[in-house]
Structure 1
Amino acid sequence: MSKVVFFVLYLALVVYALVDVIQADEEDLHGIQKGFWILAIVFLPLAGSIAWIVVSNGARRRRRSGGEQVTGFPAGQPAPARYPRRVRSWEQDPAPAGPEDDPEFLWLMEQARRKREREAREGTERVEDGPAEENGRRRGEGHVEG
């Protein structure tokens, strides 16, 4: 009975190690390719499984503790990017006293004025073109007889 228990534990250890290697991130591999870890676990089941668990748990523990990660020679981990805080118009201090002082409001007003002018131009062009085309067709203008 005890042989069966040890065999089941041994098999569980090997299966756990194989599945863990397959699902591991690059940081957990400790610079060794996944294929090598899989071969080590298959051909040396006890030693390979224990080695994998020790190496991957150490890497995971370092990552959780915030220790510096070594990504390889010659470069280390890049410094985090630092950007200035983005200030939105409604977060500015002090707030605009009136609409004339708010650049966003002035821009919106300019866009609305341009839209009204464009619509007015398009509206007058349609009115001018409409009846002239109809009159020309009625009188036979624009029609070439051959």
Structure 2
Amino acid sequence: MLRVVPVVALLALWVWAFIDCLTTPEDEVRHLPKVAWVIVVLFFPLVGSIAWLVAGRDRTGARGRAARPFGPTAGRPGQGRPLAPDDDPEFLASLKRGNEQHEDLLKQWEADLRRREEELRGDEDRPGDGDHPKG
């Protein structure tokens, strides 16, 4: 059983590194062309996988994002780390617009309700065709 564990670990590392190498965008590959890294990882499982993990991929993300990781535009592609919703001014502005729209709709509903209540009260004050018993 103990002899199988290192073989399985090596195989898992090799498969993971190979798939990672294949799916990594070309602009995040360092030191060698992507095709060269694929060949190195494929033909030299242990050394190639470790080399890919250490030196092959730019782990900090795309180079354009590293220049400005924070700020109001950080959530946009190529601008850095995304903002939390409560820190994003555009998101907060959209919430405010939504609240204003909901408040306007609520005022319209309240006005409609008042109008209907007044109509019903007006109908109650007028004598109907057969609503009241004759006395």
Q: Calculate the TM-score normalised by the size of structure 2.
A: 0.43
